[in-house]
């Protein structure tokens, strides 16, 4: 635990008192797996909720006392991406080419006089943080902050993957691999989209009950089977699922996620793309982890 200084907000910035912050696997990925030296020192955390403590010049939409969720993908509402219904990757975001951290000039955090980078532009594992006003969402004053903090990343990622990206169809069969916050939200999204069968897959047997609470109709633990899980799912569904959502971040599981789909052109296209992405040449190092999740419409 380190004591840090959080500078007052500058023009168009908001200083937030963080009340609740969850741990997303992407925090762990940055810490233990990506480990690029340009990404440190940093304060991790990006899935939080808090209360506005002070605002900088030019801030009109927020005032002290507002309940808010900091956003790691900003919404300037003006750029071509913000205006497009196809993406939400705002061009004014903080992260492009910066190893998941804000540039030192943009960070308001220091520790013993030295700049500390803001992970994902948010740095919510701190009692206070400062973010640009376009990276803040005002929420209902009655919202319980310890619960809605999950809307800062995991819930939107998983739910949106099912509903917006995969566009899960009513009556379809879905497989969801990995049942952390992202996977459970994907299960919830599949259910909301009207999926008839939702097969939740996790190597942790304790996830079974929780997955069913969120709408899974079946739970499969790959460790209970000697065959590859893709074959197990294929047999369970009479030939494969319609939608497969990989919410682990493991390239091997992504391949299995494709293989459990119905045999057909789409499935083969995805497999081909995956192979080219991760095994471009026999001599290249195939990646084993990817920070993100994959959605297959099979």
Ligand X SMILES: NC(=O)c1ccc[n+]([C@@H]2O[C@H](COP(=O)([O-])OP(=O)(O)OC[C@H]3O[C@@H](n4cnc5c(N)ncnc54)[C@H](O)[C@@H]3O)[C@@H](O)[C@H]2O)c1
Catalytic residues: 24, 26, 30, 46, 153
Position among 4, 14, 24, 185 found at the interface with Zn ion (CB under 5 A): 24
Position among 49, 90, 174, 185 found at the interface with Zn ion (CB under 5 A): 90
Angle at 78 between CA 39 and CA 9, to 5 degrees: 50
From ligand X, Zn ion, none, interface partner of 293 (C-beta below 5 to 8 A by class):
ligand X
From Zn ion, ligand X, none, interface partner of 79 (C-beta below 5 to 8 A by class):
Zn ion
Q: Which of residues 148-167 bind Zn ion (CB under 5 A)?
A: 153
Min separation Cβ 205 and ligand X, Å: 10
Q: How far apart are CA 38 and CA 27, in angstroms?
A: 15
Binding segment toward Zn ion, per CB under 5 A, in 22-30, 213-221, 267-275, 281-289:
22-30
The residues, ordered by sequence, that sit 6+ positions from 197 with a Cβ below 8 Å of its Cβ are 172, 173, 174, 217, 218, 237
Kindly list the distances between the CA atom of residue 104 and the CA atoms of 56, 210, 272, in Å, as whole numbers in the listed order. 19, 41, 40
Kindly list the distances between the CA atom of residue 187 and the CA atoms of 7, 173, 199, in Å, as whole numbers in the listed order. 40, 11, 9
Min separation Cβ 185 and ligand X, Å: 8
Min separation Cβ 41 and ligand X, Å: 21
Q: How far apart are CA 44 and CA 112, in angstroms?
A: 18
From Zn ion, ligand X, none, interface partner of 82 (C-beta below 5 to 8 A by class):
Zn ion
From ligand X, Zn ion, none, interface partner of 45 (C-beta below 5 to 8 A by class):
none
* 3-state DSSP helix/strand/coil % of the chain, to nearest 5: 30, 25, 45
Alpha-helix runs per DSSP H in the chain: 25-28, 80-83, 145-148, 154-160, 181-192, 207-213, 229-236, 251-259, 265-278
Q: How far apart are CA 275 and CA 258, in angstroms?
A: 11
Q: Which of residues 234-253 bind Zn ion (CB under 5 A)?
A: none
How many residues can be counted in the chain? 298
**21 vs 234 by CB, closer to Zn ion:** 21
Name the residues that contact ligand X, by CB under 6 A: 24-26, 29, 153-154, 157, 177-183, 201-204, 207, 222, 247-250, 253, 291-293
Longest dimension (CA), the chain: 63
**151 vs 190 by CB, closer to Zn ion:** 151
- Kindly state the number of chain residues that form the binding site for Zn ion, as judged by CB under 5 A: 7
**109 vs 255 by CB, closer to ligand X:** 255
Q: Is 274 in the site for Zn ion (CB under 5 A)?
A: no
Min separation Cβ 264 and ligand X, Å: 24
Min separation Cβ 269 and ligand X, Å: 21
From ligand X, Zn ion, none, interface partner of 181 (C-beta below 5 to 8 A by class):
ligand X
Binding segment toward Zn ion, per CB under 5 A, in 4-12, 83-91, 103-111, 216-224:
83-91
**181 vs 256 by CB, closer to Zn ion:** 181
Min separation Cβ 95 and ligand X, Å: 11
Candidates 117, 220, 144, 125; CA nearest to 177 is 220
Contact between residue 298 and residue 261 where contact means Cβ atoms under 8 Å apart: yes
Angle at 161 between CA 259 and CA 239, to 5 degrees: 25
């Amino acid at each position: 635990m380190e004591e840090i200084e959080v500078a007052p907000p500058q023009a168009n910035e908001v200083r937030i008192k963080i009340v609740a912050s969850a741990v997303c696997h992407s925090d762990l990925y940055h810490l233990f797996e990506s480990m690029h030296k340009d990404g440190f020192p940093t304060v991790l955390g990006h899935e939080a909720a808090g209360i506005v403590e002070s605002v900088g010049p030019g801030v009109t939409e927020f005032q002290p006392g507002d309940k808010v969720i900091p956003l790691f993908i900003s919404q300037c509402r003006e750029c071509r991406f913000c205006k497009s219904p196809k993406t939400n990757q705002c061009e004014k975001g903080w992260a492009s080419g910066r190893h998941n951290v804000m540039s030192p000039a943009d960070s308001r955090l220091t520790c013993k006089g030295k700049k500390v980078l803001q992970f994902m532009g948010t740095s919510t594992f701190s009692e206070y943080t400062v973010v640009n006003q376009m990276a803040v969402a005002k929420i209902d004053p009655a919202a319980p902050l310890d619960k809605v903090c999950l809307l800062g990343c995991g819930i939107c990622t998983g739910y949106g993957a099912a509903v917006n990206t995969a566009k899960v169809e009513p009556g379809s069969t879905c497989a969801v691999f990995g049942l952390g916050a992202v996977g459970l939200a994907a299960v919830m999204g599949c259910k909301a989209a009207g999926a008839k069968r939702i097969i939740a897959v996790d190597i942790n047997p304790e996830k079974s009950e929780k997955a069913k609470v969120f709408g899974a109709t079946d739970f499969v633990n790959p460790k209970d089977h000697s065959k590859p899980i893709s074959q197990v799912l294929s047999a369970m569904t009479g030939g494969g699922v319609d939608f497969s959502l990989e919410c682990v971040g493991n390239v091997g599981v992504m391949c299995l996620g494709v293989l459990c789909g119905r045999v057909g052109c789409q499935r083969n296209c995805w497999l081909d793309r995956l192979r080219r992405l991760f095994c471009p040449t026999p001599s290249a190092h195939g990646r084993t982890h990817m920070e993100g999740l994959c959605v297959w419409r099979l």
